[in-house]
Structure 1
């Protein structure tokens, strides 16, 4: 095991990324355990940090860890020692705390256990997938070729740059069409993002809201496909996420100054109903 770690992690320069990945996953599991214990009102578990009545969310600590780890990583020149591993670990742990409250940052209000709070879990899963792919040695399309200094490589790199731009454009459109995993996979595997980009968008995606008018044929086809293919997969994903992160079943608070337009998703998303004030939601 030691030989494998030295050869495939340290020897390939992946020690900082490995430390980031392990700390990120550990930090996410730890904070989700904590907030679920707080929500369950387990008496012996430390509760929310509320000095003077001010609820300090764990995103605050995450930002602090990221700053310490990030600045330390910039200062440390040795890329294979324990010091850079610790710095990367601090950055990964802090990133987990921040992304776990991504929905709070996005909506600027506490939606942690509501349906909107699932955005945080989705963001964490995307980050784990990306860092995991990079840890295996997989790199975005064109990464290795653009670093080549061989004679005659400039012409090939020019053509490759055009192909990479097309591929990245396809991945970007895929993301706008609500196809998150296709968009991410398209960054690493050429063609996937382009194929996903020319297909129908998810009904409640930004692309559908911009280009699929109500009662249009495209929206009707998108809804039909969503009901038949995507919804069963989404339900499976939600069950898996809830097993790890807990159930997002609280009703979001209504704000007079803000209005959320109704979703064009093909099926309603009712909240099963769950009560609990801020003290039961966890930090």
Structure 2
């Protein structure tokens, strides 16, 4: 276990990514604690206002993300500067994605049902970066041998196949599986071969003249949502707080 940790995590080239992930998660957790205290009217915290304008934390988040991103691009992966810029970028990304729903809807939906999207995006982002730290790389081209690197045709074919499976899973309405499938090809394969979600582009086009397949897709989606919607909402409420009843 210690050898795996040293080889995959503490490896100098991956240290900035580890620091960015740690600062990203920590920033999100602290931000959620602060905003929940503000919502409950507890503690010394309050909304930041300038001239009567409520300044959302996505604003400093964008500034920090830009600084950290450009700084990371212009620095070496093994220096002190890269570590600092990685932390700055992680903090900025945590602030920005915590208000992802606000950016998506162009409205202050932080404590509404739509605001749950922010929590989901943060969790997915952290999981993807965690997979990359564990040794996975997009499109399954990690740990290539010298022969595989020399045979570029096989590499291109593998990347193209992985991309096609992820795109197929996305067209079937399985966005999470498509995203994770870019990192882990097996996930994209599972998403590509399973029945599509009823409202997905694939179902509307392919199942239009196949009533039995359409009925099976609707039944499977109903059973899936019935089983997982409740636990998913409870986890989202635990992480991000319950939305305001409407």
**TM bucket normalised to smaller:** 0.7 to 0.9
The answer as to whether partners of 1:10 and 1:80 remain within 8 angstroms in 2 is no
Residues 130-152 of structure 1: CA deviation (Å, up to 9, x unaligned) = 1000111222312443xx6x468
**Which consecutive unaligned segments of at least 5 residues does structure 2 have?**
none
Higher relative contact order, chain-length normalized (CA < 8 Å, sep 6+): 1
- After TM superposition, the score normalised by the length of structure 1 is 0.76
The answer as to whether partners of 1:13 and 1:80 remain within 8 angstroms in 2 is yes
What SS does the aligned partner of 2:61 have?
A: helix
Alignment of 1:1-283 (within 5 A): 8-42=8-42, 44-77=43-76, 79-140=77-138, 141-145=140-144, 150=146, 153-154=149-150, 156-205=151-200, 207-208=202-203, 216-248=211-243, 250=244, 273-274=245-246
Per the TM alignment, residue 114 of structure 1 is displaced from its structure 2 partner at its CA by 1.3
How has the CA–CA distance of structure 1 residues 46 and 215 changed in structure 2, closer, same or farther, with 3 Å as cutoff?
Answer: farther
Distance in 2 of aligned mates of 1:34 and 1:95: 17
Per the TM alignment, residue 47 of structure 1 is displaced from its structure 2 partner at its CA by 1.0
- After TM superposition, the score normalised by the length of structure 2 is 0.86
Paired residues in the alignment total: 244
How has the CA–CA distance of structure 1 residues 103 and 203 changed in structure 2, closer, same or farther, with 3 Å as cutoff?
Answer: farther
Per the TM alignment, residue 207 of structure 1 is displaced from its structure 2 partner at its CA by 4.5
Distance in 1 of aligned mates of 2:201 and 2:22: 33
Distance in 1 of aligned mates of 2:204 and 2:94: 31
Distance in 2 of aligned mates of 1:38 and 1:67: 27
User: Which structure dedicates a bigger proportion of its chain to helix?
Assistant: 2
Distance in 1 of aligned mates of 2:122 and 2:200: 20
Residues 238-279 of structure 1: CA deviation (Å, up to 9, x unaligned) = 21121111012x3xxxxxxxxxxxxxxxxxxxxxx25xxxxx
Cα-Cα RMSD: 2.8
Per the TM alignment, residue 45 of structure 1 is displaced from its structure 2 partner at its CA by 2.9
Distance in 2 of aligned mates of 1:7 and 1:167: 26
Alignment match, 1:269: none
Distance in 1 of aligned mates of 2:161 and 2:147: 25
**Which consecutive unaligned segments of at least 5 residues does structure 1 have?**
251-272, 275-283
Distance in 2 of aligned mates of 1:179 and 1:124: 18
The answer as to whether partners of 1:179 and 1:202 remain within 8 angstroms in 2 is yes
How has the CA–CA distance of structure 1 residues 38 and 165 changed in structure 2, closer, same or farther, with 3 Å as cutoff?
Answer: same
